[in-house]
Amino acid sequence: MRRVLEDEQYQVSILQDGKDAYARVKTQLPDLLILDLKLGDISGQDILKQLKDDHVTADIPVIVYTAAVLEAEEVSRLVSSHPIHYQGVHVVQKPFELENLLALVQQVLNEPVR
């Protein structure tokens, strides 16, 4: 994933540790966050909630991905039940083609901020 994005000239930063993700995102304010829901030490869903609850990070678009069907459905329900609060959140279920992810990244980064 990293190589494909960097080949397209995107600047990529990888977080190895989920517990520091929220603080780092708040400090760096990326244009887009690609978030795996299965992080070893903290739930990606918890990070998503923290980001969307904070006015500083709420507008950062997020692509959430997971191989867990139930988690994907749970996040999809959360987003659809609170569409304004979770605006800019896209859910992708593994496995997925990297070309499709790249297309989604391009789409999300070109969406106007509302």
Instruction: Give the pLDDT score at 113.
Output: 52
Chain centroid to Cα 34, Å, comes to: 4
Q: Is the CB of residue 35 less than 8 Å from the CB of residue 44? A: yes
- 80 inside domain: yes
Instruction: Note whether residue 47 is domain-resident.
Output: yes
| Confidence at residue 85, expressed as pLDDT on a 0 to 100 scale | 92
In CATH, what number is assigned to the domain containing residue 47? 3.40.50.2300
What pLDDT, on the 0 to 100 scale, is given for residue 78?
Answer: 92
- Can you give the pLDDT at residue 114? 46
Q: For the whole model, what pTM was predicted?
A: 0.88
The domain tally of the chain equals 1
- The domain of 34 spans 15-108
In a domain, 6, yes or no: no
User: Could you state, in chain order, the average pLDDT of each consecutive group of 10 residues for the chain (114 residues)?
Assistant: 91 83 92 88 88 95 90 91 93 90 92 54
**In-domain check, residue 114:** no
46 is written with which tokens? 């918890």
Q: Does residue 84 belong to any structural domain of this protein? A: yes
DSSP track, 28-88: H--S-EEEESB-SSSBHHHHHHHHHHSTTTTTS-EEEEES-HHHHHHHHHHHHHSTTTTTT
Work out the burial of residue 8: count CB atoms within 10 Å of its CB; fewer than 13 is exposed, 13-18 middle, 19 or more buried.
Answer: exposed
Supply the pLDDT for residue 111: 62
Note the residue count of the chain.
114
